[in-house]
Chains A and B, each alone.
Chain A
Amino acid sequence: MEIEVSIRKQLRDFELQVDFTAKDEVFALLGASGCGKSMTLKCIAGIEIPDQGYIRLGKRVLFDSEQRICLTPQQRHIGYLFQNYALFPNMTVLGNLQFAARGTFAESRCRIQDNIRRFALQGLEGAYPAALSGGQQQRVAFARILVSEADILLLDEPFSALDSYLKWQLEQELMHVLGEYGGSALFVSHDRGEVYRLCDRAAVINRGHIEAIDSKQALFANPQTLAGALLTGCKNVSAARKIDKEHFSADEWGILLTGTVGQPIPDHLRYVGIRAHFFVRASGPGENTFAADIVEVIEDTFSFLVMWRPSGGDGCSRLLRWEVDKETWRQVNGSKIYLCLPADKIMYMQK
C-alpha cells in the first residue's frame, strides 16, 4: 500500500516539514535524536496532530487540514511498533493478541492462531510479557500488529535501547518478519548500519527537514548534505570552496585538492568529506597526496584509528581520521607515511 505524507508542524525549536511517499518498501527516516523523525511517525499514527498538510494511505485520507479530516488513531489501521514494544503487562500473550483483534470472533480466532504460528509463539500464549525475552516480546508485538490488520508498519527505533548482541538477534528477526510482511514499512533510526541493512530507500532528516531522499546505495555514496554525511557515518568533513573547474580548497584541513573528471565540482561547494577507510597509502608526494603528521593513534577493536594532518601547515588544521587494519599499521608504523585522498572518493556537499 502506498503512503503519501506531506505535513507541517511547529515544534519547540524548529518546524517539522516532511514530504515523502513510500510504496511496498522499507523506507527509513535517518536522523539524529530530536530531529523530528519520531514525531513524524506519531503524526502518521494519529497520536500527534500536524498543524497542516495531508496524510494518505492507499485510497484513504487519514489527515487533511484543508478538508478538515483527521481520523482517530483507532480509525487509521496503522501498526506502530514502539521502542519498548508496549505490550500490556496485565495480559498474557494471548490476551494481548485478543485485545488487538478486530472483526467477528471466528475471524479473529483464526487470525490469532495464524500469527501465533507465524511468529513461533506456540507454548507462550499463557505467559505474561514480563516473563518473555526481548526477542519474544518483539515477536508478540509484531503478531499483535498483524492481528489488528494494520495497513502499514511504523517502526520507532526498535533497537535503540539494546546491547549489541541482542540487537543483532532482534535485527535479524525483524529482517525476516519484514521480508515476509511485504507491505510498506517506515523505519525510524539514527543508526546508519541498521538503516543500510534493513531498508530499500532512506531519507535524511535534519532539524525537521528532509534533506535528501534516495536509494540507500546512492545516499551512502553521496549524502548530498553535511547532516547526511555525518549521519551516514562519514568521519572526515571540512568546509570547502571551489577555486576553479578542477580545484577546490578544503579550508579546515588546510589543503588544496584536485577533482576528478567524472565528477564535476559544484559551483556552490560548501563542504567536502571522505570516509575514514578510503585513504590510500602512497610512496611519495603526488596528486591529492600529502605527507602525514601523525598526531594520535587509537587502537580500536579490529583496526587502528590514526589521527593525522597534512604536514607543512600551521599545525592547527582539523585532524583527519584514517582507519587502517592492525596488520598494515604495524608494518608502516614509524616510517614516513604519505596518504592520498582519491578524488573519486571525495564527497561534495552544497549545504
Chain B
Amino acid sequence: MFTFFAGIGLAYFVVRLKRYQGILDAIITLPMVLPPTVVGFFLLLIFGKHGFIGQLLLLGDIRFVFTWKAAVTAAVIVSLPLMYRTSRGAFEQMDVNLLYAARTLGASEWRIFWRILLPNARQGILAGLVLSFTRALGEFGATIMVAGNLPGITQTMSTAIYAAVQANDDATAFVWVAVVVSFSFLVVILMNYWMARLYGFGRKGNGAGGNRSQHSQTTA
C-alpha cells in the first residue's frame, strides 16, 4: 500500500522537477540495482542503535531492528523503485496535450492529477503495482539483515523457506514454496484480468494510446 502511493507520488514529483531530476531518480532507483545485502546494510546503519533515525526512535523507546517494522520497511525500500519507475514511465508517455488542454480549460493541477493523469496512466500504475508487490513478496536479502528470521515475528515466506532448507526440512519448504508460487500466480492472474477489464473504455484493443491510434486509423 505504502509503496503504491509513495511510488506514484514520487514519480509525479520527479517528472515535474526541472532540475536535479537525474540525481533524485538515481537515488530512488538505487535499491533496485544494489545487492539486497547492501540495502540491508544501509538500513542497519540508518535505523540501528547508532544510526541517525535509530537514535531518534530510541528516544521514543521504539525498537526497530529485528521487528516486523523492519521487515516492512525493507520490503518497501526494495519494491519502491519498481513502482516509481513504471509510474514515471506511464506519466511520461501521456499525451502532454491532454494536460495542456486541461490547464487551458481551467482545471487545477490537483484536479488534473486525479482526473486526467492517474486514470490515463492506470495501466502503467497497475503494472507497477504487480511488479512491486511480487518483488516485495520475494524480498529476502535486506529483510534477513535488518529483520532477521524470528518465527512468528519477522519471518517472511522467503526467509521461512530459507530456514527450512537449511534445517533439511524439505516438507516445510515445499509447503511454503507452494504457498508463494500459488499466491503470486493468483495475484498476477487477477491483476491481468483486472487490467484487461479496465483496459479501454468501451473500446477493443490497447488503451493507453487508444485515442491517438484510433485517430491515426481514421487518417491513414
Query: Residues of A at under 8 Å CB distance from B?
Result: 42, 45-47, 72-74, 76-80, 82-84, 86-91, 99-100, 102, 127-131, 133-134, 137, 144-145, 148, 150, 161-163, 166
Instruction: Check A134 against B108 for contact (C-beta < 8 Å).
Output: no
How many angstroms between the C-alpha atoms of A334 and B7 in the bound complex?
76
> Are B106 and A77 neighbours in the complex by a CB distance under 8 Å?
yes
Which among B100, B103, B105, B119 has the highest number of chain A CB atoms within 10 Å? B105
Binds A, one of B45-53, B78-86, B180-188, B206-214: B206-214
CA of A74 to CA of B103 in the docked complex: distance in angstroms?
5
B27 is an interface residue with CB less than 8 A from chain A: no
Q: Which residues of B contact A134 (CB under 8 A)?
A: 215, 218-219
Secondary structure class of chain A's binding surface, majority of residues: loop
A133 to B214, CA, bound (A): 9
Instruction: Look across to chain A and name the residue whose beta carbon is closest to the beta carbon of B204.
Output: A130
A72 touches B103 (CB 8 A): yes
| Assembly CA distance A163 to B120 (angstroms) | 28
Q: Is B24 an interface residue (CB 8 A)?
A: no
Q: Interface size bucket, B side?
A: 20 to 34
Q: Is the CB of B201 within 8 A of A130?
A: yes
| A residues less than 8 Å from B164 (CB atoms) | none
| B116–A88 CB distance below 8 A | yes
Nearest A residue to B216 via CB reads A161
B106 in contact with A86 (CB, 8 Å): no
The answer to whether B101 and A82 have CB atoms under 8 Å apart is yes
Considering the chains assembled together, what is the distance between the CA atoms of A118 and B205 in angstroms? Answer: 33
Measured between alpha carbons, how far is A137 from B101 in the docked complex, in Å?
14
Q: How far is the CA of A150 from the CA of B103 in the complex (A)?
A: 12
CB <8 Å contact, A90 and B97:
no
CA distance A134 to B212 in the complex (A): 11
Judged by a CB distance under 8 angstroms, whether B115 is at the interface is: yes
Tell whether A73 pairs with B100 under 8 Å between CB atoms, given A130-B211, A130-B214, A161-B219: yes
* B120 closest partner in A (C-beta): A90
A89 to B95, CA, bound (A): 11
| Residue of A with least CB distance to B200 | A130
Find chain B residues with CB under 8 A from A91 CB: 115
Docked CA distance A129–B210 (Å): 10
Residue among A84, A161, A163 with max Cβ neighbours from chain B (10 Å): A84
C-alpha gap A130/B218 in the complex (Å) = 11
Q: Which of B28-73 contact A (CB under 8 A)?
A: none
Which residues does B use to contact A, with CB under 8 Å?
95, 97-98, 100-108, 115-116, 119-120, 200-203, 207, 210-212, 214-216, 218-219
Q: Specify which of A78, A86, A144 lies most central, judged by the most chain B CB atoms within 10 Å of its CB.
A: A86
Contact of B108 among A74, A129, A131 (CB under 8 A): A74
Additional 12 contacts, C-beta under 8 A, given A134-B215, A161-B215, A162-B219: A46-B103, A73-B100, A74-B103, A74-B104, A78-B104, A80-B100, A90-B201, A91-B115, A99-B102, A128-B203, A131-B203, A148-B104
Nearest CB on A from B105, distance (A)? 4
Which residue of B97, B106, B116, B201 is within 8 Å of A74 (Cβ)?
B106
Compute how far the CA of A130 lies from the CA of B115 in the bound complex, rounded to whole angstroms.
18
Q: Which residues of A contact B104 (CB under 8 A)?
A: 45-47, 73-74, 76, 78-80, 148, 150
CB pair A84–B215 under 8 Å, yes or no, is yes
Measured between alpha carbons, how far is A298 from B119 in the docked complex, in Å?
53
Docked pose: A347 CA to B18 CA in angstroms: 49
- Residues from chain B with a CB closer than 8 A to the CB of A163 are 219
Given contacts A88-B98, A130-B211, A148 and B106 within 8 Å (CB-CB): yes
B106-A82 in contact (CB<8A): no
User: Could you tell me the distance between the alpha carbons of A127 and B100 in the complex, rounded to whole angstroms?
Assistant: 23
B residues near A144, Cβ cutoff 8 Å: 105
Q: How far is the CB of B91 from chain A (nearest CB, A)?
A: 15
Question: Which 7 A-B residue pairs are closest in the complex by CB-CB distance?
Answer: A86-B101, A73-B103, A90-B119, A86-B97, A100-B105, A89-B211, A128-B201
A-B contact pairs, 19 of them (CB 8 A): A45-B104, A74-B103, A74-B104, A76-B104, A78-B104, A79-B104, A80-B100, A80-B104, A82-B101, A88-B115, A89-B98, A89-B120, A89-B201, A99-B115, A128-B203, A129-B211, A130-B200, A137-B215, A166-B219
A72 to B215, CA, bound (A): 30
Q: B residues within 8 A CB of A88?
A: 98, 101-102, 115-116, 120
